[in-house]
Amino acid sequence: MRITAKFTDVKTTVNTANEPPFKATGPTEMIELFRDLIPNTLEQEHFAVAVFNGRNELLGSKVMFMGTTNSAGIDFIIMARYIVAFPSVARFAVCHNHPSGTLEPSREDLRLTSDLVKMGKSIGVKLMEHVILTDQSAFSFTNSGIMTDIEKDAIYEHETRIDYSTHLRNASAFIQRAF
């Protein structure tokens, strides 16, 4: 059984032992999970995190932060504490919505993803996906190939300066091909 509780507009999901846990096998399942957490009618950005074990079974998910119409402040310490609170955590995924309806990731979205990859490495937990939701569609950093590029950049960041404009062009090209 998946229990979802709503407290002051913040939803939290935790699996109980009564039914098989939600299993993420790809971006489609991630989008489904996050659509349940972040309704598409919101007028402000919401930022959610989902935590998985080594078998990609959902351990917990939560809307962590709420922001304005075009940004949501992220506290990495609070997020890291939530992630490592699960004893068998191996991976995590994040999602935020774009109330504007713009599907393309912003430069700030790319920087945030890069920082999340680094945060994950520092706590020993891999960032497996970043999803952007709009009321009509969703953008997967994994499907677009941007996640792989950002992971490579995070490894070699000390040697080169990250060029986010390349990632933005790749995202734009992916969106045009997909829609």
Q: Amino acid identity of 160?
A: T
Closest CA to 129 of 158, 120, 137, 167: 120
Residue 156 belongs to domain with CATH number: 3.40.140.10
Q: Are 62 and 3 in contact (CB under 8 A)?
A: no
Q: Which residues contact 62 (CB under 8 A, 6 or more apart)?
A: 10, 11, 12, 13, 37, 48, 49, 82
Closest CA to 97 of 155, 145, 37, 162: 37
Averaged in consecutive runs of 10 residues, what is the pLDDT profile of the chain (179 residues)?
A: 39 59 88 89 88 96 84 88 96 94 91 94 95 92 92 61 53 58
Task: Provide the domain limits for residue 122.
Answer: 2-178
What is the pTM (predicted TM-score) of this model?
0.77
Q: Are 24 and 32 in contact (CB under 8 A)?
A: no
Q: pLDDT exceeding 70 applies to what percent of the chain?
A: 74
Total number of domains constituting the chain: 1
**Span 30-50, pLDDT tens digits:** 999 999 999 776 788 999 999
